[in-house]
Structure 1
Amino acid sequence: MEAQEYIESGILELYVYGLLSEKENIEITELAKNNADVNQEIISIEKAIIALSSSFAPFHSVANFEKIKARLELKHGKVVEMKPTSNWSQYVGWAASVVLLLGLGYQTLQLTKTKDAISTVGNEKNKIERNYAYLGQQNKEMQKSLNIVRDIKNTGVTLGGQTVSPTSYAKVYWNKETKTTYIDAKGLPAPPKGMVYQVWSLKLSPVLTPTSIGLLDNFEGNSQKIFAVSQTDSAEAFGITLEPAGGSPTPTMEQLYTLGKV
């Protein structure tokens, strides 16, 4: 029988179903090894069975279907006892394929989890680095503040709250030798929008003479509320007023928040 005759006869379907004799199975197996068309037809039948195990009719002609029915003796309603296939290697192959697919699926899942874990660790690392940098900056600012407070060469001048804000307070650290001046404004409320605190050095006699020594800019952004202002040559008192953004040439006495004598 020629290869095409095998294909058209329906015997290859019976081979796949395991309904042939041992001799016929060996014959088809050898033929499939040597004939690509027969081998391809067997593969196609196997795929059809896997895809639609309930029906193989859509994949074959009516004539082939009738031939198969005749071989199975099902035309007149007879029941054929199915004997086990001797071509068990096919099913082993299918089972191995299923196991392989499950294995690949598991590996893919594990890989995804690993990538997610790496991403999470990376995000946490970046967060820790940002926090470390922030804490480092905070530590530097605190150390600077402590150095100012502890410097025995600095004269500390306490500024008490005035009528407009009795609960306010501040402190001036003034080094008379280097003339450097720092303001601790922790006791001042946040200035309203469009306003800024302005610091004044004051001479009290013979007449009151105010000199602006700086603005407390970026009040909200300064966590320590320690501000460096201009050098102060001489002063008998210090005061802080609330002024429009940019400052004023003279202090607005109605907005005098704190005042203290040296």
Structure 2
Amino acid sequence: MDIKEYIESGILELYVAGTLSEKENQEIYALLLKHPELLDEVLKIESAIVTLTAAVSPTDTKHLFQAVKEKLGIQTDKDTPVRPLHKPGTNWFSYVGWAATLVIGLGLMWFVNQNNNLKDQIQTVETDKELLEVTLEKYSNDLTETKQLITFLRDKDIIAVPLAGQAVSPDSYAKAYWDKKTNTVVLDVQGLPEPPQGKVYQVWSLTLNPLTPTSLGTIDDFSTDDNKLFTIENANASEAFGITLEPAGGSESPTLEQLYTLGAVEQTS
């Protein structure tokens, strides 16, 4: 018996695929017990089917048919045709059996792929839901802050102090809303230009006689705050407010050459 010819005939693939008659199955089973080479080939075929249907990535089906041939050791050389064992139609049925096997394998991989796609879609929906919740929460917080700001600005005891542009930047402007009861100042600096890199705006409370500046802090988030509204504490007896451009971290005293805006507090009797 020519073992190589028997293997190349395709009969073992039909045996594994379960397409042979009971009599043929018994004959092949007897040969497997007698010839270890045939048994080894059957084990390889079964292993290839398991590997291809369970381990091949669903997204990597482009070379599936070539992978099947390589796993099974089927030659693709045109000069080495598969020879039939019993009759001319046997090899054709072999291909039919393997076509069925491939269909099953592709079906399993399609199912896994669809399952993965469904998981991705669920994950996307969950992510979108989380983003929506964050957006709604931010919107709610912004709305609350806006209402609080409007209430603050409409308070009859709030002192509004316009800050006009100075020599270094005549077109600049700002406005301070001072609540003496809570020692709070809301500063609107929409009219200030973007500070250069390494520089920050610093806010000053001023008494005029004698001229005494007191720092109220630096505006470190100027570039990232879209509203350009900042709340600062001011427990000083301020007679004016000024804003200067200072090195990052602020300065002990204002750099008057970099005074951008200045405004006096209107004195009430």
- TM-score of the pair, normalised by structure 1: 0.61
Residue of structure 2 equivalent to 1:55: 82
Does 1:170 pair with 2:174?
yes
Matches of 2:196 and 2:40 in 1, distance apart? 83
CA apart distance, 1:44: 6.6
What amino acid is aligned across from residue 167 of structure 1 in structure 2? Answer: D
Runs (5+) with no aligned partner, structure 1? 1-6, 17-24, 58-67, 73-81
Residue of structure 1 equivalent to 2:160: 156
**Is the contact made by 2:206 and 2:239 (CA closer than 8 Å) also made in structure 1?**
yes
Matches of 1:135 and 1:187 in 2, distance apart? 25
Query: Between Structure 1 and Structure 2, how many residues are aligned?
Result: 222
Give the 3-state SS of the residue equivalent to 1:220 in structure 2: coil
Residue of structure 1 equivalent to 2:27: 32
Of 30-39 and 183-192, deviating more is 30-39
Residue of structure 2 equivalent to 1:224: 227
Residue of structure 2 equivalent to 1:241: 244
- Alpha-carbon spacing, 1:196–1:34, altered in 2? closer, same or farther (3 Å): closer
Residue of structure 1 equivalent to 2:150: 146
Matches of 1:242 and 1:43 in 2, distance apart? 84
Of 111-120 and 189-198, deviating more is 111-120
Residue of structure 1 equivalent to 2:207: 203
**Is the contact made by 1:159 and 1:172 (CA closer than 8 Å) also made in structure 2?**
yes
Matches of 1:139 and 1:158 in 2, distance apart? 26
**Is the contact made by 2:190 and 2:227 (CA closer than 8 Å) also made in structure 1?**
yes
State how 1:50-199 maps to structure 2 within 5 Å.
51=74, 54-56=81-83, 96-132=100-136, 134-136=138-140, 138-199=142-203
Give the 3-state SS of the residue equivalent to 1:167 in structure 2: coil
Give the 3-state SS of the residue equivalent to 1:259 in structure 2: strand
**Is the contact made by 1:239 and 1:258 (CA closer than 8 Å) also made in structure 2?**
yes
**Is the contact made by 2:153 and 2:177 (CA closer than 8 Å) also made in structure 1?**
yes
| Structure whose CA Rg is larger | 1
CA apart distance, 1:201: 2.4
CA apart distance, 1:156: 1.0
Give the 3-state SS of the residue equivalent to 2:170 in structure 1: strand
Matches of 1:250 and 1:92 in 2, distance apart? 91
Matches of 1:164 and 1:95 in 2, distance apart? 83
How many percent identity over aligned positions? 40
Matches of 2:197 and 2:167 in 1, distance apart? 21
CA apart distance, 1:169: 0.9
- Alpha-carbon spacing, 1:35–1:224, altered in 2? closer, same or farther (3 Å): same
Matches of 1:211 and 1:243 in 2, distance apart? 14
CA deviation string 1:79-108 (max 9, x = no partner): xxx6978xxx98986564344234224323
Residue of structure 2 equivalent to 1:255: 258
CA apart distance, 1:37: 3.6
**Is the contact made by 1:32 and 1:38 (CA closer than 8 Å) also made in structure 2?**
no
Give the 3-state SS of the residue equivalent to 2:192 in structure 1: coil
What amino acid is aligned across from residue 204 of structure 2 in structure 1? Answer: W
Matches of 1:156 and 1:143 in 2, distance apart? 18
Residue of structure 2 equivalent to 1:22: none
CA apart distance, 1:38: 7.1
**Is the contact made by 1:182 and 1:227 (CA closer than 8 Å) also made in structure 2?**
yes
How large is the RMSD of aligned CA atoms in angstroms?
Answer: 4.6
- Alpha-carbon spacing, 1:39–1:169, altered in 2? closer, same or farther (3 Å): farther
Matches of 2:218 and 2:101 in 1, distance apart? 78
What amino acid is aligned across from residue 101 of structure 2 in structure 1? Answer: S
